[in-house]
Amino acid sequence: MKVTDHIINANGDTMFSFEILPPLKGQHIQSIFDNIDPLMEFNPPFIDVTYHREEYVYKKQDNGLLKKQVVKKRPGTVGICAAIQNKYQVDAIPHILCGGFTIEDTENFLIDLDYLDIDNVMALRGDAVKSETYFKPDPDGHVYASGLVSQIEDLNNGIYLDDELLNSSPTNFCTGVAAYPEKHMEAPSLDSDIHFLKKKIKKGATYIVTQMFFDNKKYFEFVDKCRKEGITVPIIPGLKPISTKKQLNTIPHRFHVDLPQDLIMEIVKCKDNVAARQVGVEWCTQQSKELKEAGTPVLHYYSMGRSDNINAIASQIF
């Protein structure tokens, strides 16, 4: 079922959902099920599965020279989505990127999803590959997520890349897109970022999931701004409990978000990561309570491969 229909059917109740990463190559899929199993009691209507593009690694050869290799460390997004739908009868939402995809690759990826009865897709541009500073699109790929949204919408209207196809079958995807309450790192301003967010909606996206934030005020202000700009689709907040002391530095660096001073001081005081994880759970629980009280349709948690802390939060909220 489409995310938008899940929201309509919930009749104003706040739902629980979460995002998982495919396991590192070589690990068994059971590691994913072990994380999902304890969260099923909170009845997630959908589970997101991230997509991880290729990376460049340099391997030393016998002659001492380095050889550049392209590797995908976390393949399997589509397979995991199929396995989740099969095992749990819950909608799985694959993330799909512009980066590393030609438009032909994109079309074929979407055809696979359609055959697998996947009704939703999260359309993203993707970041630069790790060894590069800026995002470089594939020469035959999309430059921005809005182009990807348009291609999905075309398929929903039965328009394939080959315009000579006869009786082409339309897909029926519900498309989500990303947004950033604290602005995307490359955007010159929040207003400019919202301008391009609106473009993704105009092209056919029907819901939004936000980047993580640690101060609900940022989310509420962002939603107000979007509404004033005429964006009316659901804006689902993305939430991440801090789980280690080191994340005080890695989260702002990696995700370009601010941490509130009170949270920083609480984490700084922690003796170890066990204590920091507990502070992260308490902070995120407070955020979740306030968001639920405000009538937010879905609370979407970034599990990052471990679900015990998400479980601790959800058991107090749902």
Ligand X SMILES: Cc1cc2nc3c(=O)[nH]c(=O)nc-3n(C[C@H](O)[C@H](O)[C@H](O)COP(=O)(O)OP(=O)(O)OC[C@H]3O[C@@H](n4cnc5c(N)ncnc54)[C@H](O)[C@@H]3O)c2cc1C
Positions in the binding site for ligand X (CB under 6 A): 50-51, 53, 95, 97, 124-127, 144-146, 178, 184, 186-187, 192-193, 196, 200, 209, 211, 238
Minimum Å gap between C-beta 168 and ligand X is 27
What gap in Å lies between CA 235 and CA 233, rounded to an integer?
6
Query: Which stretch of DSSP H or E encloses residue 289?
Result: helix 273-293
Closest CA to 208 of 47, 4, 1, 20: 4
| CB 213 within 8 Å of CB 181 | yes
Least distance (Å) between residue 275 CB and ligand X = 28
Task: Give 7 or 279: the residue with its C-beta nearer to ligand X.
Answer: 7
* Residue closer to ligand X, measured from CB, 67 or 254: 254
Structure tokens at 42: 């909170």
Rg of the chain in Å (alpha carbons) = 20
Q: Which residues are 238's β-sheet partners? A: 212, 300
Q: Which residues does 54 contact at the CB level (< 8 Å), separation at least 6?
A: 70, 71, 72, 100, 129
CB of 104 to ligand X, least distance (A): 20
Specify the residue, 210 or 309, whose C-beta has the smaller distance to ligand X.
210
- In the complex, minimum distance from the CB of residue 266 to ligand X, in angstroms, rounded to a whole number: 25
Query: Which C-beta is closer to ligand X: that of 161 or that of 187?
Result: 187
Between 171 and 211, whose beta carbon lies closer to ligand X?
A: 211
Please, are residues 256 and 289 in contact by the beta-carbon 8 Å criterion? no
Q: How far is the CB of 183 from ligand X (least distance, A)?
A: 8
